[in-house]
Structure 1
Amino acid sequence: MITSTSAFAAQVRGILDLIAAGDAEGAVPELLTMAETIDDHWSWEGRKVFDALRDADRRFQAALVHHLAARYHDVEASAVVRRRIVHLLDSIEGAELVEDQPRDTRSALIRLTAERDTQYDTDQLIRLAELELAEGRDLPGDFVALIRRSHLLLWNGASELGDLVKRLTHPVLNPGEAWSDQALADLSGRGEDWHRLLAHAATATSARPTAKWERTGRSLIDAVGPETVRERVLPWLGLVGRPRTRPLLPEYYGANPNDTLDPYNATALRGLTWLLSFLPAHAETARILGALVETCLKKVAGLGPRNPKVANAAVNALARIDGEAALAELARLTTRVTYKGTLKLLDTALDTRAEALGLGRDEIEELAVPAYGLTDVGHARYAFGDATAELRVDGTRAVLSWQNAAGRPVKAVPAAVRRDHADELKELKAAVKDIDKMLTAQSERLDRQFLTRRTWTYAAWRERYLDHPLVGTLARRLLWTVDGTTVGYADGALRTLTDDPVTHGTEVELWHPVGHEPAHIVAWRDWLERHSITQPFKQAHREVYLLTDAERTTHTYSNRFAAHILRQHQFHALAAIRGWRNKLRLCVDDEAPPATRELPQWGLRAEYWIEGEGENYGVDTTESGSYLRLRTDQVRFYPIDAPENSAHCCGGEYRMWLRDGADPVDPIPLADIPPLVLSEVLRDVDLFVGVASVGNDPTWQDGGPDGRFREYWTSYGFGELGQSAETRRALLERLIPRLAIAGRCTLEGRFLQVKGERHMYKIHLGSGNILMSPNDQYLCIVPKSTPGAPQAGYLPYEGDRMLAVILSKAMMLADDTKITDPTILSQL
């Protein structure tokens, strides 16, 4: 890489001399060298080269285009270098130059141009296409794809390229994506009915199919055969989201086109989802459509969700399909989707189903959970000839095991099963995946039930929860209240704290520790441990946030979680998962409301006041201008219909937005908030801080940009424990004696102390950060993104990632002479 400005200037002068001399062939290697070696100089000094190329003799320009285009695909270079070569050609190409090129140069230009996402020089696209078509040659599929993308994405694409696009009917899909390549390969040699079907799918430009569109679609399906359509289309949709088979050159700014969906193919995908909704209901159809929703809502840097329009089309298709499987996917997706537009469609679809059946929304979500072939709670056996498959739910995952004809366990699927029962085996494996997804969804749904004020009749509760083949695996690990008596499930029956069986009742609620004496809560924790029950989430060990003296003094707001620095995008994702509504803060002159959670069953709205942190674009923000970090402030409660508060994204006072002469509404005193509501809302906020705080990042010991957050990082990373960390500490007091390293571990205040051979280590119970002797030197160990479950024997609940991090670090440091990671060793 050239680091000397003078050296680069000399290189530029050499190229300018070659241009002046009209030596196109000699200029090419110099231009390629410049493209490979320069970086920041390109946008400044390189302008002299651009200007000279634009002003050069036309014969020189034509020769240079010829040589550059011919050399482009021979260059072993990165995408960045190839992109720079394309920009070189941009500086001299024009529609009039296309006609001056030899045939082989024109072909090279077409191949080169086809690697772009869009081409702004629409005149050049038109002339290249017209010359090829006039000479009777078909345009390459990649080039047709470029024209179609430019037609859809450029501001003038429709007016400039519309007539040309109408003439380009083949290929029926744009190649370059895994799913479209497979579809085009499958269509090879097939009749025109299939081509007409896909061509019709590519016209799905509205939000929903019109009556005319549906009539045409159904007739085309009948021509091909409904079952054939399903068998062909579903595998294609299963490939959506795979890496592009023919990568495109990314631009200098904006989203990488290799991470998004081709816009022309995306329209065809919408049409295919609609066509699937016209077919008879099938479990695999619902499964694939549900997966497509999640694939299309995955976040892409610089863009956001990959393609919400396709996701919405898949939701609309699921809403049109009758049957248990489609309803189950809709219910599952409501627990997974956070994108507002798609979530609104899901809510509407479920509300419509509930109204049609005369049920409440909660009831339809409960009834939507399938058994997935389970015959008992969490268990099923299937015969495949002489072999047997056993499916068991273990925690929040399904486990499949096999026995051969002799009844002996085998690790792999017996060969006879793969040979003689391929379809049944495929369906069983798909059911295992579905169970895993639904268990996660149902666990999250149950965890959010504490604020719904939901009650059940005893009979309905047993059917939908305790004895449900799938949900029962979760419900039987939770505590419930039956007619005011707390019960849990153990040894085949509901039981009280004294293990007396409960066989009947009238009304059932989900148990919450708020309102119970500490001795009662501890007794139930002991009961769960005695029966070796691991809860799917914190319930008996759930943190309880009671009103403090400081909050009685502030009266209407809580500062308990103020003055924290959070990673904005992580906070935003967590808030959506927990049912909060939030707007990303951008470094612009605009206002935004606080993060809010509406609680309609209580007539309340909770608010968490936040603001953007920093003012340096590109340091404190992303390229798109959204803040990387937030600073937190108060938690407040208002009546649910109170006017909305807002403040400037960059910070400042929150003000209530009053319309039509409305009067301001005061916040509700914290003492008037029901204890359950206060506790659950503050628990959510504690989760946001505990997960998204920069104080949890072990690499931030330098305090982040300009060291601004060093004091905060230190105070949070090694400071007083919050409520969730205190819960973790209480659990570790019971766990440590069971560990193999128990003799090397002690709990001291805020830390788990671990005695290694090299040092004594102190692991903070809130952040997982580490200090080591002597002098409390900081030790940076970056945990895996998904640490494995700690080998600590029985655990009373699932889902505490920080507990897994702390225990994994403790086990490593207790045996510190066996550490081999050079990054860690260099600090020891």
Structure 2
Amino acid sequence: MLTRLSDNPESAELPRSGMWLGTWLARLGSVPGRVLAYARGRLAVGHPPTEAVAPQRPPVLIPGEPWADQAIAEVAVMVPEHTRCWEELLRHALALTSARPARKWRTRARELLDSLGADEVFARTDRWLTSYATAPPGRTHEHNDNAVRGLLWLRTVAPEEGTSPRLLGAVVEGALVREGRTGPRGARVAGAAVHVLSTLDSDPALAELVRLASRITYKATLRQLDRALQAKADALGITRAEIDEIAVPHHGLTTIGRGVQDIGDARVELLVEPTRVRAIWRDNTGTATKSVPASVRDDHADELRARIKDIDKALAEQKARLELLFLEHRVWRFDQWRTRYLDHPLVGTIARRLIWIVGVTPCVYYDGKLRGLDGEPVHARPSDDVALWHPIDHDTDEVLEWRELLAEQGVVQPFKQAHREVYPLTEAERNTGLYSTRFAAHILKQRQFHALTAARGWSNQPRSTVDVSCPPTVRELPEWGLRAEFWVDGLGEDHDAGVTRSGSYHYVETEHIRFYPIQAPENVAYAPGRGYAQWDDVNDELAEPLPLADVPPLVLSEVLRDVDLFVDGASIGNDPAWQDDGADTCYREYWDSYGFGELSTTALTRREVVRRVVPRLAIADRCTVTDRFLEVRGDLRSYRIHLGSGNVLMTPNDQYLCVLPRQAKDVDGLARLPFEGDRMLNLVLGKAFLLAEDTAITDPTIAGQLR
């Protein structure tokens, strides 16, 4: 019988059986830490706990964390013999304090697993580890973290029992959730999970290591992942880059972009399309249905959503990986490339929309074959080389022909390739010789800048008034023996509007770009923006930057394009609400000049795409593309949308109109674009569709500005 607990747990009369804990667990899924603490004799009150609940030994875990509360509650309602065995297992897990378990620890762990049953142990601890991985942000106790580490290491004692690589990956990501400036909440837990994952000899485990390496930014764990993957590559006799290729899972797809799965009493066909994963449902007779069957909607909705989410994430990761291949200088044998790229059920949906050079012939896949510019099939031998096509290596006429062909065939590229911006050396850069100031004097939001650098493979240390110095933002290019450095300075002084309470800068200002031999000593900058310096005892020859004219054109172009993307994605000039931010009026002049000024190289490409797309839009008769703007005629006013920033001016007096990204229309289905990934292009067109029908705008924050 459950005795009701009052608001004062220490005054409640608790039954001797302890079965009330099971009721809490059944109804709520967990037991409040205060209740558990009282039941275990840990509540700090003015009098000792009642004899009925006083523990014989100190509790194994400390209450207050979801996973620990769940474990305590489950163990507490077991029969006494099992309770003692499980507590002994948890104490043994806690006994592992070294980085790796000794033979004696492993031997005793094996004995405990045999006595409890490995299947039961891993099934129960899977639930606890899932609870740990999905817990909301919050501080964890080192004592409990040690227990998690021990539970993870148990899995190396009985690898044949089967451990979910995805669960281990979730533990890594959950442990690396940051708690403010204090760093990850469980770095040692993440390290243990990575090590256990690296001991699993399976394709899913290898795929999970690769997935984590593409997502994790915490340096210590990332180094551990890289070492594990390099060891896997060495064991297989292949390169580290090839590991990323062979580890891509199919995610249930059986042919290119298509997979069929039975869920409940229905069957779903998943189709990978350029911008989404579409589900086609069929009932048990095979007939297509217009909606999700009721049985699936009621009992299996989460299962389907999780699978679609996995495919979406995998597609995004593979698109990012393939785009970075431009700078990796990769070449494949045709038979190898066909298996890993063209005919891979998942990667093939991306690779078949890109231009490749097979042998010496550029080609793309359509109508069931690889075809060149002339439309004729390309016949390849297994030993032919294959490389990714880049526009900087081809003349303008050929690039334009490829754009026309892709448009005719309805090919939507997964990222900019035929329309990719190129950045040849300018006369100004020839004059400066050793550095480029092409993207200097921009003001960027530091948080967005940091995220963009990580996504593009750069190493960046956020600037802070707390630090005396920091390294520049760096992209290492081992395939070329080079290192690119991009210099930025923190903006603001202590305690002003540009600095957070913890001392981090809200904004950074861009400076120059330089290239060095990869073995050159790293440079250092004064964090508050007082200039550029080098380490003292350096080799003068290596310390000198390379002349820009000596940098391979493809490398120079891709590095400068990355920096252009950083500016395009993080500049304060792209924030439509900036004029409402009174704290930062000192940057208003820059906001005006960027938000409505000359177009960058990225924006110039956007303008050419808009010129091609607009005539095919339903609002074509209301749109005109000019030098810097997409002009839209509404019924109430006319509007000029800047093609670089997306900011809007209204007639008759160039009054500013604030339209936030979430207020623009979704252009999916309204406009067919030649490539994915240009967020600003979608935003510009989304604002055009919205403003062309300005009399239908119901959002009061926009409608109020139109009066």
Corresponding residue SS for 1:732: helix
Structure 1 match to 2:418: 540
1:242: Cα distance to partner? Answer: 4.5
1:241: Cα distance to partner? Answer: 5.3
Structure 2 match to 1:162: none
* Residue in structure 2 matching 1:659, options 537, 547, 570: 537
**Which amino acid in the other structure matches residue 214 of structure 2?**
T
1:406: Cα distance to partner? Answer: 2.6
1:656: Cα distance to partner? Answer: 1.6
Is the aligned partner of 1:173 residue 2:61?
yes
Does the CA-based 8 Å contact 1:790-1:808 persist in structure 2? no
Is the aligned partner of 1:462 residue 2:338?
yes
Does the CA-based 8 Å contact 1:594-1:607 persist in structure 2? yes
Corresponding residue SS for 1:220: helix
1:369: Cα distance to partner? Answer: 1.4
Alignment of 1:675-690 (within 5 A): 675-690=553-568
Corresponding residue SS for 1:502: coil
1:548–1:233 CA distance, 2 compared to 1 (3 A): same
1:683–1:384 CA distance, 2 compared to 1 (3 A): closer
Does the CA-based 8 Å contact 1:608-1:634 persist in structure 2? yes
Is the aligned partner of 1:376 residue 2:291?
no
* Residue in structure 1 matching 2:371, options 495, 506, 512: 495
Structure 1 match to 2:512: 634
Does the CA-based 8 Å contact 1:328-1:369 persist in structure 2? yes
1:568–1:823 CA distance, 2 compared to 1 (3 A): same
Alignment of 1:656-735 (within 5 A): 656-659=534-537, 665-701=543-579, 705-735=583-613
**Which amino acid in the other structure matches residue 181 of structure 1?**
D
1:215–1:542 CA distance, 2 compared to 1 (3 A): farther
Structure 2 match to 1:324: 203
Structure 1 match to 2:674: 796
1:126–1:268 CA distance, 2 compared to 1 (3 A): closer
Structure 2 match to 1:99: none
Structure 2 match to 1:147: none
Does the CA-based 8 Å contact 2:573-2:594 persist in structure 1? yes
1:384: Cα distance to partner? Answer: 6.8
The Cα RMSD (Å) is 3.3
**Which amino acid in the other structure matches residue 173 of structure 1?**
L
- CA-to-aligned-CA distance 1:530-574 (integer Å, 9 cap, x gap): 111111111111111111111111111111110011111221121
Does the CA-based 8 Å contact 2:176-2:190 persist in structure 1? yes
Question: Which deviates further from its counterpart, 444-453 or 386-395?
Answer: 386-395
Alignment of 1:211-230 (within 5 A): 211-230=103-122
Structure 2 match to 1:565: 443
Corresponding residue SS for 2:269: strand
1:129: Cα distance to partner? Answer: 7.0
Does the CA-based 8 Å contact 1:332-1:442 persist in structure 2? no
Structure 2 match to 1:240: 132
* Residue in structure 1 matching 2:457, options 565, 579, 584: 579
Does the CA-based 8 Å contact 1:480-1:510 persist in structure 2? yes
* Residue in structure 2 matching 1:357, options 223, 233, 236: 236
1:277–1:765 CA distance, 2 compared to 1 (3 A): farther
Does the CA-based 8 Å contact 1:374-1:470 persist in structure 2? yes
Question: Which deviates further from its counterpart, 451-460 or 575-584?
Answer: 575-584
1:305–1:520 CA distance, 2 compared to 1 (3 A): farther
Separation in 2 of the partners of 1:815 and 1:483?
51
Is the aligned partner of 1:132 residue 2:21?
no
- The percentage of aligned residue pairs carrying the same residue is 50
- CA-to-aligned-CA distance 1:217-241 (integer Å, 9 cap, x gap): 3332232223223322333333335
Question: Which deviates further from its counterpart, 509-518 or 813-822?
Answer: 813-822
Separation in 2 of the partners of 1:299 and 1:181?
22
Separation in 2 of the partners of 1:376 and 1:317?
32
**Which amino acid in the other structure matches residue 174 of structure 2?**
T
1:347: Cα distance to partner? Answer: 0.5
Corresponding residue SS for 1:348: helix
1:817: Cα distance to partner? Answer: 1.5
**Which amino acid in the other structure matches residue 607 of structure 1?**
E
1:436: Cα distance to partner? Answer: 2.6
**Which amino acid in the other structure matches residue 550 of structure 1?**
A
Separation in 2 of the partners of 1:282 and 1:369?
24
* Residue in structure 2 matching 1:771, options 640, 644, 649: 649
Is the aligned partner of 1:472 residue 2:348?
yes
- CA-to-aligned-CA distance 1:238-266 (integer Å, 9 cap, x gap): 3335566xxxxxxxxxxxxx534444433
Corresponding residue SS for 2:393: coil
Does the CA-based 8 Å contact 1:595-1:609 persist in structure 2? yes
1:413: Cα distance to partner? Answer: 5.8
Corresponding residue SS for 1:635: strand
Q: Which runs of 5+ in 2 are unaligned?
A: 1-5, 15-31, 35-40
Does the CA-based 8 Å contact 2:135-2:174 persist in structure 1? no
Question: Which deviates further from its counterpart, 627-636 or 194-203?
Answer: 194-203
Alignment of 1:781-792 (within 5 A): 781-784=659-662, 788-792=666-670
Is the aligned partner of 1:760 residue 2:638?
yes
Separation in 2 of the partners of 1:723 and 1:534?
21
- CA-to-aligned-CA distance 1:437-475 (integer Å, 9 cap, x gap): 222221111111111111000110111111112211111
1:440–1:198 CA distance, 2 compared to 1 (3 A): farther
Separation in 2 of the partners of 1:114 and 1:426?
29
Separation in 1 of the partners of 2:642 and 2:54?
64
Does the CA-based 8 Å contact 2:337-2:386 persist in structure 1? yes
1:688: Cα distance to partner? Answer: 0.9
1:749–1:350 CA distance, 2 compared to 1 (3 A): same
1:479: Cα distance to partner? Answer: 1.0
Separation in 1 of the partners of 2:584 and 2:460?
29
1:483–1:704 CA distance, 2 compared to 1 (3 A): farther
Separation in 2 of the partners of 1:308 and 1:785?
40
Separation in 1 of the partners of 2:630 and 2:422?
23
Separation in 2 of the partners of 1:489 and 1:282?
44
1:281–1:449 CA distance, 2 compared to 1 (3 A): farther
Separation in 1 of the partners of 2:62 and 2:255?
48
Does the CA-based 8 Å contact 1:538-1:798 persist in structure 2? yes
Separation in 1 of the partners of 2:437 and 2:468?
25
Structure 1 match to 2:3: none
Question: Which deviates further from its counterpart, 479-488 or 209-218?
Answer: 209-218
Using structure 2 for the length normalisation, give the TM-score.
Answer: 0.88
1:459–1:708 CA distance, 2 compared to 1 (3 A): same
Separation in 1 of the partners of 2:306 and 2:245?
22
Structure 1 match to 2:148: 269
1:496: Cα distance to partner? Answer: 0.7
Structure 2 match to 1:200: 92
Does the CA-based 8 Å contact 2:33-2:63 persist in structure 1? no
1:722: Cα distance to partner? Answer: 0.7
Using structure 1 for the length normalisation, give the TM-score.
Answer: 0.75
Separation in 1 of the partners of 2:328 and 2:565?
20
Separation in 1 of the partners of 2:46 and 2:111?
35
1:782: Cα distance to partner? Answer: 1.8
Separation in 2 of the partners of 1:264 and 1:398?
43
* Residue in structure 1 matching 2:392, options 498, 511, 514: 514
Aligned length: 673
Does the CA-based 8 Å contact 1:658-1:664 persist in structure 2? no
Corresponding residue SS for 2:673: coil
Structure 2 match to 1:334: 213
Separation in 2 of the partners of 1:785 and 1:268?
48
Q: Which runs of 5+ in 1 are unaligned?
A: 1-71, 75-102, 108-112, 116-124, 141-166, 245-257
Separation in 1 of the partners of 2:224 and 2:464?
27
Does the CA-based 8 Å contact 1:592-1:646 persist in structure 2? yes
